[in-house]
Amino acid sequence: MNEKRKMGNKAVSKLALTVIIVVAVAVASVAGVTYIWATGKNKQTLVVSTTTSLYDTGLLDVIEEQFEAEYAIDVYFISVGTGLAITHAQRGDADMILVHAPSQELTFLEGGYGMCRKIVAYNFFAIVGPAEDSAQIADLSPVEALTKIVEAGRDGNAVWVSRGDDSGTHIKEKGLWTATGFNWTTLRDEDWYHEAGTGMGGTLLLANEFSAYTLADMGTYLKYHKCGLISLVVLVSQGEELLNVYSAIAVNRTRNPEANFEGAIAFIKFLTIQQGQQIIGEYGQDQYDQGLFYPAVQLLKENTNQTLVSWIQNYAYFNGTECPQQYRNDHPELFQE
């Protein structure tokens, strides 16, 4: 990759990028691995490796508070991109994962690392950018929008900022480039394409700083926009191509005997019962005039919206199910399909 990149007419210095990332870390109130081992003798500890797109919104704080009020379990979160979240669990640093990258989740299961995968929530990604919209992508399909961004970028009229961190959002972005007919590994060497190499918050701040386009999960975007941290606007949203699905998976205790498997199952059950699903569905409505996430359990069970259910099944099911039989570990109560 070229070591020097141009952001429109501005050069991105290492100092500027560092400042932006530091601000993002301060906003999220988390730096890297964010857990402390519990000292109480009567409580279990549950370490959840999860994504910045969930943690940065504040949703997990509410879930943690209500879960801990009912269970003798202290919950701690490792907040990173999905790829690294899975790596933490694979090397024994977490008891479960809460992530949004189905292809990597399947690999996690097939590798013997995970059990009892349960889809708990969904929302949509969006392509956001400057209000002046130099590439003229507003209300286009994702494929049409990305095509125009490439054209405008190559003409010197647009800039793209990628997460570039192997997160669920980054994986979605690469899939969209492929669907659009572009080779992502080639695009990343072009001057108009830049990689933040950080979480969603840092990526949004960097894109905002340089009036660039980026792919964002709606939860983090709405929080940063509401807080006045960014002025980027949503230009392309909704639609099957931008679906974003979140799943919880317990670490396989056969692979890691020290994992708190029962604690993970208790947390997964809490996320799937009415109380947990209500927290997910209501979070953000009072602050943002809309929920940041949508509960998925009842939707999938009752098939109340056939179109949306089919989108989730096409994107996030494995061989027609959210969790193949061999990975259910004798917990049929989680899978009353």
Contacts of 281 (CB under 8 A, 6+ apart): 291, 293, 294, 295
Residue 336 binned pLDDT confidence (cut-offs 50, 70, 90)? confident
As a whole number of angstroms, the distance between CA 244 and CA 53 comes to 11
Contacts of 128 (CB under 8 A, 6+ apart): 204, 207, 213, 214, 215, 216, 221, 232, 233, 234, 235
- CB-based contact 111:263 (threshold 8 Å): no
Residue 2 binned pLDDT confidence (cut-offs 50, 70, 90)? very low
Write down the pLDDT at residue 287: 87
> Which residues are registered as beta bridge partners of 121?
246, 295
Amino acid at 211: S
Integer-rounded Cα radius of gyration of the chain = 20
- CB-based contact 79:27 (threshold 8 Å): no
The stretch 137-143 carries a mean pLDDT of 96
The stretch 222-245 carries a mean pLDDT of 95
- CA-nearest of 30, 63, 76 to 268 is 63
Domains and CATH numbers, the chain: 6-27+125-241 (3.40.190.10), 30-123+243-334 (3.40.190.10)
Contacts of 70 (CB under 8 A, 6+ apart): 270
Tens digits of residue pLDDT in 242-287 = 999 999 999 999 999 999 999 999 999 999 999 999 999 999 998 8
CB burial readout 227-239, b (16+ within 10 A) else e: eebbebebbbbee
Tens digits of residue pLDDT in 17-73 = 444 444 444 444 433 444 434 334 568 999 999 998 888 899 999 999 999 999 999
